[in-house]
Structure 1
Amino acid sequence: MEIATPLKADIIAVELAHEVASIYPQLVEDTSNPSLGAFDWTTTYGCQRLGSGEVLFDHLVFVCQQPGRSLQSYRHDYWFDDADPVPGNGVPVYIVDTGATLDHKEFDRVRGDVEWFHVGTDVSGGNAEDDSSTDPTQQFITAKAHGTSMLSLVTGRILGVSKGVKPYLIRMPRRHIPTGTTGDRSGHPTNEDWLEGISKVNDHLAEKSDEAKAILLLAFYIPRSSFMRDGKDCSAGFDARMRFLLKDVIEKGALPIMGAGNGYEFTIDGFPANYGRDDYNPIPEVLVVRSVHTTTFDLVYQSDFDQGLPHIFAPGYAKCAEGNRGMWTMFENEREGIYRSAQGTSCG
């Protein structure tokens, strides 16, 4: 990927279209008004247009591109592959996060296909099938439902980039219930919780595979500084265990995708992104992502880069599904879910 200036990135998503299970066709004609005749029909068989009646967001400009055409020229014309079966149909995507609020309208199509794995036990007992970052009583509405956001961007009805995948939610436990004083703090999974989440994926992928057959989304970043105790780095045990687990899931056919971090720094020193660094005995198969603005295409300062990272850029400003049901009640006629703005490496 060529970067025109230190703060500009030319995103060429179509170059990846043949390498990943995506639902977006490639345009083959130079036109400002896409039509069915403008598509390469060797890769797509039927499309539906998202017209003015649908919710359209700028991050969708990164799909359905024509070679040599400026990304700024795309607005509101987004086409989705409607082939039967949808490309990528049934490909497992494991999302190690906070779960999701599945009664959001964005998940009408996939709600019955989601499978759950639970890490630990919630602070109040049991294992709920919800977003563990939120208040289950819906009294406090400031918490970010990060897992809901991720699921919507992966396979949401409008926002999802791969409509036909098979979602597996590895839900972090609700170790803390947001209150009026804790604001948008999450459910506080521990470092060990994240390791257990990857381990659950490892256990589910029982057999070795010579080819990639699943996606492992790790949209979290644990800085090394969180392991410092009295000036001593105590990350060695965690580091070794995560490295082992990632190498094992890769041998079983999973492609780990992870964020470069949101530390507002020009360095990366955290997990799991470190495993993509040139100077960190890198694991070649991991894919580390950094973010760009979806309207100006500047690199997002909030997103870190260092030592040969990132491997790829993705939208860093977007709309995503709001998983905090308490927010829905604040808007009339929005009882089936609303959307929120997000920014950062994982648009969380």
Structure 2
Amino acid sequence: MVRLLLTYGWICAFAVNQTAFAKRVVLLEDAAPRAEFSALPTLSRESVAPIQINFRLTSLETDRQTDGFETLRVDGLQRLERAGAPDLFTTGRIVVVPPGYRAELQNVKSETRELGAMRIAPRQKHYRCDCPWDEGFHFDSALYRSEGLYPSEPLRLESLGKLQGVELVRVGMYPVQARFRDNSLVVTPYLSAEVHFVPTGAPRNALHLAPSLYELIRASTVNARSLNASQLRGDADELMLVFVADSLKDSLQRFVEWEQSKGVKVRVISFSEAGGTNKALRTYIRDYVKNTAVKPSQLLFVGNKTTLPVVMASTASGPAATDYEYARFDTLDDIPDALYGRLLADSAEEVSTQI
């Protein structure tokens, strides 16, 4: 019986994983499939330094599956997450657009190459575990029947939103595009371009961030370090709002004193003072931001899911608990406007241990 089960398992595994040999398509040089993307500010007399974009894709690896679809492999790229669409790639960088300017792509130069008879397998959702939200096989039949390209452009600027007034734009690179009308690929193995910042006529006042957010922006964007003090500064007050379960408020004195010794302004608000529900807490935070000159740069939540409730959010793996919604001061985009975290504690002793 054991032997039969092992044999059956081996046959199933062979049937599922059986593919043709992978094939390498050389684009620029005979090297391992790899993508290289760079985005660097350049010396210029312009008020905001332009950003030089360079991209190279040496080769890619294709593998035809038994169902007739092709899969691709390239190191250095991130897979697109659109379930049911061709399982293709992207890469990119984030740039800051100072007030009074708009970002614009210029001097785009590229090479393209067409690969025929390439019907790319659709992207599937990947769950962390077996769960009831698994919707089975994903296939966007309307997209696969269309006449256009997916993605529509190899390079584009994508608005991400604002972090406390700082406009963020992604330079998105899509080097492999599916062309559905003839089941082919349009590949961009080489591209160079520039991102310029064009005056809009709006005021060019400097943006002032708290030091923690200023360093976050400098570390995560291409050009924040090249902006001058008339465009972006890190000299605003550092303000932490601490929302705490009513029974734990007295346990935070040592933590508050420690933060204040570092120059952080701290305000502690009990859950009942903030309204006593997670909806009221969200409203409290947004009203506070709207009505005060100093915006909080940090949010800390102290308590458990009962004494200081979280917000339930919808994810690919089902509902999940998060404090992310509390940090979205501007609901027009998905970027949190403050650093946020939680001390998950049921008692004053647990708070003291974590402090």
Q: Same fold by TM (over 0.5)?
A: no
TM-score, reference length from structure 1 = 0.25
Q: Larger radius of gyration, structure 1 or 2?
A: 2
Give the structure with the larger strand fraction: 2
TM-score (norm 2): 0.25
